Each structure stands twice: as C-alpha cells, then as structure tokens.
Amino acid sequence: MRKFSRRGALAGLAALPLSSLSTRSDARSPVFPDPPLRLVVGFPPGSTGDSLARLIAAGVGERLGRAVMVDNKAGGEMAAGFTARAAPDGATFMLASNGPTTLAPALGRTLPYDIRTDFAAACPVGFTPMLLVARPDLQVSNAAELLDLARVHQGSLKGGSAGVGDSTHLALELFKAMAKLDIVHVPYKGSGPAMAALMAGGIDICFADLPAAIPRVRVGKMRGLGQSGLARSAAAPGIATIAESGLPGYEAVVSYGLFLPVGAPSALIEQLNAAVEATLRAPPVAKKLAALGVDPRFGSPAEFAAYVAHDYVKWAYLGKAAGLTAD
C-alpha cells in the first residue's frame, strides 16, 4: 500500500509512464465521460489554489485522454456545494483545501454539504504550511523561545489572524490549546492587514502564508519562528517546525486534495488517483509546486479518506473546546 506521506514527499520525482494509466476498460469497468471533464475549484484565478488546479488539469487530462476544464466558483463552500450536487459519473470532481471541507464545520457553520457523506475522497495533492512570525523587535528568535515567553507573560501577547475562522486563526488557537497559553486573538480582514499590523508592532505574532512571509523575514520586517507542518517545507528548509521546537505533534497546514461526488465508481477514483500522482511526480510539475510553496503528498483513496476524517475530528474538537463560532 502506498503510504500517505506527510514527510519528505519530494522523493522519487520521475514521471510515471502514460501507458500505465489505461483509458480503456472492459465491460465491467466504467470509463470517464467523453465531454470535457470539470475540475471545480473555489479559488480565484491567479491564486495558489487556482494555479495548482491548472497544473493538475493539464496533467490529468493528458493521462486520462480527456479535456479537463477548470471551473472557478466564488468560494470554497460554493464549489463544494456544486460538486456535491453533481452526477457521480466522473465528469465532475473538485480540488479543495481543508478550509471548506474540515475547518468550516469546526465553527458550527451551516453548510449545504457534509464532507463525511457527500463526497468520495480521491487523492491528496499537497500541503502548504504556515509560518509563525513575530514582530521584528520581539525578543524571541524561534518557537521554543516564544513558548517560554508566552508562559511567563500569560495574557499579555497579542496574536493576529486573517479573520475569525480563517486557517491562520485556527492555527493560532491550536497553538494556544496545545501549549496551554493565554494569547489575545486580534482578527483582521485578510492576511495583508494582519501582516501589516505585525510589522507596525500592533500585534506580537501571527500565522501567515509561508511563501508570502518568507521574503519579509529575509529583509528583517518580521521574524520567522517556526513552520506549522510536521516536516520542514522544501520552500524553507532552514526554519524548524513548531513540532520540533517544543510542541510535539503540532500541525496546522493548508491541505489540498481531490474529491468526487459520493457514489462515483471506485474504478474511476483509482484512475484519477493514479493520474494525479503521476502528474505530481513529473519533474516539471514538481518545480512549479515548489515555486508555489506546495509540498506534494501521495496516497491511496482510502489513506486520503482516513486523513480527511482525522482532520475533521481534530478541528471539530478544537472548535468545541475553544468555543469557536462562525460569528
């Protein structure tokens, strides 16, 4: 069984041969429909998620012998609702982050779908860790020193986020819960305002998109304290993870994966899984993923489904324990 690796997933980047993914089938095996396939995404054009979707669409289309059209919806929840209502014939599948799939339910949001019952998990795609950053004059240089400081000064530090319920907010709440810290949450309307407030000294720390934060860290506008993944990202190998800096097991990443409507034939799910894996392992795609700050992940449909289920329970527990709501 192929292990759903959370660590070192850049190994073995040789592309799988196209012949290994037969688009033919006997009478007992379903095939993908002939019309263009629809890859639904809830990301705006030009975003990391959209760029990732277009890489996948091109590679999967080549390997399955089908045209794949990227369909941008106005938000992850709209994309998920659309996909949940689609026919389970393989014509429609979705690239989603864990925002609308496992984080939104943790806030008690009323959603037009349930990730546990309305979708078939097809394959993981990649993780983008966040970076825990501090204002440049805060007297800490890594996550371990921040933990020590916060424990001594309970209730004094201010932690910003890109908004209530955003992944950066939940990353902060998980950090607080696991370390038993009292840090004041200060929400902003987006990651840009949060980072601007940090650099101006209005808040002490925040979690930020790693590719966006790294350039600011390099020029001294903020301090990079620790990555939020279990393993160091290829985009910043010199910065330790929070998990290895005094908070074992800490993980709060933006995870991407492919889903089909529930009821999709298992043979199609397996073909899609293989086509995506072959695409991600192709060296030209691996280079583009690195530029996007996305670390590829691989695993069988069953392994990915188990990960999604675990992620759902993890954030639901945190949401309840921390009293988080959509409001």
Topology (CATH level 3) of domain 130-227: D-Maltodextrin-Binding Protein; domain 2 (3.40.190)
Residues 6+ away with beta carbon under 8 Å from 46:
none
Average pLDDT over residues 167-180: 96
Over residues 293-325, the pLDDT tens digits come to 899 999 999 999 999 999 999 999 999 998 888
Q: What is the pLDDT of residue 28?
A: 56
Q: Which residues of 171-184 are buried (b: 16+ CB within 10 A; e: fewer)?
A: bbbbbbebbebebe
Q: Do domains 18-128+254-322 and 130-227 have the same CATH topology?
A: yes
Is residue 212's pLDDT more than 50?
yes
Which of 3-17, 139-153, 286-300 shows the lowest per-residue confidence on average (mean pLDDT)? 3-17
- Cβ atoms of residues 124 and 255 within 8 Å: yes
Q: Which residues of 93-110 are buried (b: 16+ CB within 10 A; e: fewer)?
A: bbbbbbbbbbbbbbbeee
Average pLDDT over residues 263-284: 97
- Which of the four pLDDT bands, split at 50, 70 and 90, describes residue 327? low
The upper half-sphere exposure of residue 291, i.e. CA atoms within 13 Å in the direction of its Cβ, equals: 10
Q: What would the CATH number be for the domain defined by 18-128+254-322?
A: 3.40.190.150
Over residues 51-101, the pLDDT tens digits come to 999 999 999 999 999 999 999 999 999 999 999 999 999 999 999 999 999
Q: What is the pLDDT of residue 273?
A: 98
Q: How many helices (H) and strands (E) does the chain have?
A: 10, 10
Tracing tokens 């929840």 back to the chain, one arrives at 77
- Packing angle of the helix pair 301-322, 266-281 (nearest 10 deg): 90
Q: What is the pLDDT of residue 229?
A: 96
Is residue 235's pLDDT more than 50?
yes
Over residues 111-138, the pLDDT tens digits come to 999 999 999 999 999 999 999 999 999 9
CB count in 10 Å sphere of residue 157: 18
Average pLDDT over residues 146-161: 97
Q: What is the pLDDT of residue 107?
A: 87
- Which of the four pLDDT bands, split at 50, 70 and 90, describes residue 23? very low
> Per-domain residue ranges for the chain?
18-128+254-322, 130-227
Q: What is the CA radius of gyration of the chain?
A: 20
H/E stretch holding 121? strand 119-134
